[in-house]
Amino acid sequence: MITEKELLQQEYQARINKAFDYIEKNISNNFSLDELAEVANFSKYHFSRIFQSLIGETPFKFIQRVRLERAAMLLGGSIMSVSEVSTNCGFSDISIFSRNFKNHFKITPTEYRNKKQTDSNNSKTQSNNSQYDAKPTMYFCFSSNKLKWKTNMEQNKGVEIKEFPKMTVAYVRYTGPYAGDENLFESLWNKLFAWAGPRNLMGNPDFKLIAMYHDDPNITDEEKLRTSLCIGVPANTKVDGDIGKMDIEGGTYAVASFELNGKQFAEAWQWVYSEWLPQSGYQPDDKAPFEMYPKKPENNIYYTDICIPVKPL
């Protein structure tokens, strides 16, 4: 039985999650405290203190960190100029961006990009020298009239480019370490299913299972990593408690299909970014990636589509 105190905590977290979603969707905007307080439905006089007590950062320190971490992802995975990255991540002046970036990462944006390129080249050299070759091979599938990729990576079952519509999802969000923690994911899924089942949402036409990762584990401290476990729902679905609702943007996605055990997810993500993307002719688009699960696990094997938003290089 959930206590009244727990219900109140859930309500507070749900409102802060709304602020999270709003910030992430509009990261290039300038935010005011009044604006964020209104989104979260808290008094502007108390919002900052509530936010900091729950998250451990003030709203503007959170925004600054997320912007800088987004910039690091773009510097390492896109061909945007440093100036374009700065603007895209909400900095009005490149000198302010560069100074804050160096304060946070102890390295300038240009040095960070050069280091990432060097690390990527070294990784490719090591892969070329190894006996195990997982490089993708492109081919044209006549039955679907699409380009697809096949590889020698045992867990990967192919890669293709797909157009996704906008998807409305209900979610339960977690902040903290999650890599390889099957018990954590099971408890979060069970919490979401326990909410969705009585509302007859499990078998609706919009139903999908999705795990969205808001931060790059190679950049963000693991104690601050945010992930949302989601189910597809009709757009008019009402949510309550600490169950939130958001839209996942439609667009062009690279969909890499895998059969994985619980310890192989990090390897699969690394392969997509280090092996497939550099040879695909695509670069990551500025949206959050996610996993989609097309069918239920069998014998501790997870059938997983890693979905990366992409655009032409």
- DSSP conformation letters of 32-77: -HHHHHHHHT--TTTHHHHHHHHHSS-HHHHHHHHHHHHHHHHHHH
CA atoms lying within 13 Å on the CB side of residue 238: 3
Structure tokens at 91: 């900095």
pLDDT of residue 184: 94
Q: Report DSSP state, residue 160.
A: E
* Coil vs helix vs strand at 4: helix
pLDDT (0 to 100) of residue 138: 64
> How buried is 189 (Cβ within 10 angstroms: 0-12 exposed, 13-18 middle, 19+ buried)?
middle
Q: Does domain 4-113 have CATH number 1.10.10.60?
A: yes
Matching fold, domains 4-113 and 160-312: no
- Give CA separation, 55 vs 51, 62, 98, in Å: 6, 9, 26
- C-alpha span between 288 and 302 (Å, rounded): 21
Task: Fold for 160-312, please state it.
Answer: Multidrug-efflux Transporter 1 Regulator Bmrr; Chain A (3.20.80)
Per-position pLDDT tens, the chain of length 313: 678 788 888 889 899 999 999 999 999 999 999 999 999 999 988 999 999 998 999 999 999 999 999 999 999 877 889 999 999 999 989 999 999 999 999 999 999 999 988 776 665 555 555 444 567 776 666 566 666 776 777 788 889 999 999 999 999 999 999 988 889 999 999 999 999 999 999 878 889 999 999 998 889 999 999 999 999 999 999 998 889 999 999 999 999 999 998 888 988 998 888 888 888 888 888 888 999 999 888 888 999 999 999 998 8
Q: Write out the two tokens for 189.
A: 């899924």
List Cβ neighbours of 67 (8 Å cut-off, separation of 6 or more).
Answer: 27, 89, 90, 91
| Rounded Cα gap, residues 239 and 283, in angstroms | 35
Query: What are the sequence ranges of the domains in the chain?
Result: 4-113, 160-312
Phi, psi angles (nearest 5°) of residue 161: -95, 130
Query: Model-level pTM?
Result: 0.81
